[in-house]
Structure 1
Amino acid sequence: MKVTTASVAAMAAGAIAAPSNTTPREATKAQAACASAVSLDAKSNVFSKYTLHANTFFKSEVAKAVEAITDSSLKTSASKVGDVGSFLWLDSIANIAKFDDAVADVPCENILGLVIYDLPGRDCAAKASNGELKYNELPRYKSEYIDPIVAKIKANPNTAFALLIEPDSLPNLVTNADLSTCQESKTAYEEGVAYAFKSLNLPNVVMYVDAGHGGWLGWDANLKPGAEELSKVYKAAGSPSQVRGYATNIAGWNSWDEEPGEFSDASDAKYNSCQNEKTYVTKFSAALSTAGFPNHAIVDTGRNAVTGLREEWGDWCNVNGAGFGVRPTATTGLELADAFIWGKPGGESDGTSDEGATRYDSYCGKPDAYKPSPEAGEWNQAYFEMLLKNAKPAF
């Protein structure tokens, strides 16, 4: 396995599967936003004050899953999953419509997590979660995607928002520069993320940009260029005040603090000192500080309860045997890590295992991937039940 170029990152890339178009149940409007406008201090950890909101869309998916379970004890456990705070994916222009129902029941003590995820040429190193916009459609990204989201957030000044900006994007530019698809997308990625930073720099918003994980930008040779890439885009946007830092392990499987580390005995382990996400956050934050980028992190623990399942770092698709991990909390034990969050909605597929499908990615057919699995974002009932049974801590 190479340590700095496409073979490492191509495996790591593509881990992000766009959630489905689930229609929510009627939002509970009894709960209210704050009585006055929210102003978030991005120099502090907002998750120490606000609780990540359990959004209506994941609640709806879980409620349907519960109805399909026949085991009474499992049914009881499953019903609790929908109450876990998680991020809502605005993964297409059409799905911006999810915003209105999601914001309707956010109480003042909660923060609504939104994933901004629709760059032109999205996921340039993978097939399973390619987006709707072509690499040369940056004007559409700005006017039809980012601008409407900005308008909706401005229309809800009394609600707090945590935004996770464009999973997989900038890490792909660091390690997959030899792929023509990523070369084509480079301008749109950098200008698009900068536009998102600048446009979404609103008082009631805190932003974190995706930075892969320890098995991706955590390789020793990738830490410095990874930090410089994030900083380059941040500075191009005018160093927006509401950017707090970065996100790691989104839709990922890496342990927070396993020692000596899941792949510590691999032949190339000497090239990667970031054998868990805690080490990665520590080392990457130091590199970011040097590069001039805000260096606090949020870490996805939604599906990382079980380790030792993957053959390689980059095996990203529907890992078999996985379990729900630690629930969202600001108690991480590391000052640089603002919170553990649930980024990927557990139960939604990372990609199809159907080799004949147009968006089939070979990583979804690997021996350590769960089969059968539907298209990216579609619900997989059996996988959800597996995550539940393997959850640590248990529900």
Structure 2
Amino acid sequence: MDKGARRRRALPAALAAVALLIGGGGVAAAGPGHHHHPSRGTSFYVEPDSNASRQAAAWRAEGRVADAELMEAVAKQPTAIWFTTAGAEQVRTRVRDVVRAAKRKNQVPVLVAYFVPYRDCSQWSAGGALSEQEYREWIDAFAAGIGDDKAVVIVEPDGLALMTSEPWCAIGPDEELVPQRFREINHAVDALKRGRRTKVYLDAGHSAWQALNDYDAGYGEPRQQLGIVNRLLRGGVTRADGFALNTSNYRYTADLVQYGTRVSKCLYLRTHRGATACPTDAELDALRVHERKMTHFVLDTSRNGQGHYTPGEGETDWCNPPDRGLGERPTARTRIPLVDAFLWIKRPGESDGECQGGPPAGQWWPEQALDLATHATPPLR
């Protein structure tokens, strides 16, 4: 049996073991029970005209039947729709059009708001609003486009996990931009939650990125960095429906569930038990808390079928790594109490940036799409 087969067989058992860690414990404090998470029967929106569907048609016309069938299978899956460009009125109209199209099909769209100033630390996906005021107007228009219709919104990928205060991020001064970032994320939460049926999840990186607790960055001059739990709290997660993990990344689902459960337990301890920091991982794993008292999360499984990549010299593990695969199909039926949905947030086949052979960030890359489909776990067919 190959390693991939062993991993596929082990995955359900690993997820079940992590789910048991949540458990039903004797806790008395009220939790985030006022949030209404996507129902298990939710059908997410499938675009009728996507890059994958157009690529499938082109390959079929060229006689590449097997490749076309793989792309057709990809095109049948719901993927998130990203909003990344300036213009409040334009984003209002575009969001409204998507929401209405989904409503006509009795489906729920997954939308990504990606326009915060200094996004991606001005790297491959540089851009975003030029000021806090522009961002407020943009996100208000985004929320207005949804209105009281159903939608799931992922708020600002990397917005909390990748801030201007990161030691290698030469944008500043931090004492101004970090508070600004938290104000922007909080404003997004409040604007979006005015929609009666909008589900809001704050992006929180992935399981191999930020520590749970605050830490000393240790790059030359000591710089105290906020851990992800403090970042989520300061970003307004208690007023949202939860957080999102693994956006545009490749971490195994079981690893993400374990990490997300620890984050959620620590949020519970911070907000209900008066804790000032997270205990050890072992203590968190042993802690029993009923899932109704805890913060839920969603996972991006669009590219984690083969897990993360071990880079060679001159490579990265996050930017267009080869031989990855599509992961669990988008669904709200995860069988994991804290995980509201598996989603394809990163659109399969869209480049991470001009690295490891890729075109500019967000551009369709047929070769990568085919690679992901070929290595899908579980298989597409």
TM-score bracket, shorter-length normalisation: 0.7 to 0.9
Instruction: Report what 1:212 is aligned to.
Output: 205
Instruction: Report what 2:338 is aligned to.
Output: 336
Equivalent residue in structure 1 for 2:271, among 262, 286, 292:
292
| Cα separation, 2, equivalents of 1:149 and 1:204 | 14
Structure 2 residue 52 is the aligned partner of structure 1 residue 55: no
Structure 2 residue 126 is the aligned partner of structure 1 residue 130: yes
Deviation of 1:298 after TM superposition, in Å, equals 0.1
| Cα separation, 1, equivalents of 2:300 and 2:311 | 21
- 2:309 touches 2:317 (CA, 8 Å); kept in 1? no
With the length of structure 1 as denominator, give the TM-score of the two structures.
Answer: 0.71
| Cα separation, 1, equivalents of 2:116 and 2:308 | 33
- 2:305 touches 2:324 (CA, 8 Å); kept in 1? yes
Question: Deviations for 1:249-287, whole angstroms, at most 9, x for unmatched residues?
Answer: 001100012xxxxxxxxxxxxxxxxxx112111111111
Provide the alpha-carbon RMSD of the alignment: 2.6
Instruction: State the SS of the aligned residue for 1:187.
Output: helix
Distance 1:206 1:301, change over 3 A: same
Q: Provide structure 1 residue ranges, at least 5 long, that are not aligned to the other structure.
A: 1-40, 258-275, 353-363
Instruction: Report what 2:286 is aligned to.
Output: none
Distance 1:168 1:119, change over 3 A: same
Report which of the two structures shows the higher radius of gyration computed on alpha carbons: 2
- 2:212 touches 2:229 (CA, 8 Å); kept in 1? no
User: Percent identical across equivalent pairs?
Assistant: 25
Q: Give the ranges of 4+ consecutive aligned residues of structure 1 lying more than 4 Å apart after TM superposition.
A: 218-224
Instruction: State the SS of the aligned residue for 1:231.
Output: helix
Equivalent residue in structure 2 for 1:160, among 144, 150, 169:
150
| Cα separation, 2, equivalents of 1:129 and 1:110 | 29
| Cα separation, 1, equivalents of 2:83 and 2:308 | 32
Distance 1:221 1:188, change over 3 A: closer
Q: Provide structure 2 residue ranges, at least 5 long, that are not aligned to the other structure.
A: 1-32, 216-224, 273-293
Within 5 Å, which residues of 2 pair with 1:374-385? 374-385=359-370
With the length of structure 2 as denominator, give the TM-score of the two structures.
Answer: 0.73
Structure 2 residue 85 is the aligned partner of structure 1 residue 98: no
Deviation of 1:140 after TM superposition, in Å, equals 0.8
- 1:50 touches 1:109 (CA, 8 Å); kept in 2? no
Structure 2 residue 366 is the aligned partner of structure 1 residue 387: no
Equivalent residue in structure 2 for 1:283, among 258, 262, 270:
262
Equivalent residue in structure 1 for 2:186, among 153, 169, 194:
194
Q: Give the length in aligned residue pairs.
A: 306
| Cα separation, 2, equivalents of 1:322 and 1:86 | 18
| Cα separation, 1, equivalents of 2:36 and 2:145 | 25
Deviation of 1:120 after TM superposition, in Å, equals 1.0
Within 5 Å, which residues of 2 pair with 1:230-245? 230-234=232-236, 240=239, 243-245=240-242
Distance 1:234 1:311, change over 3 A: same
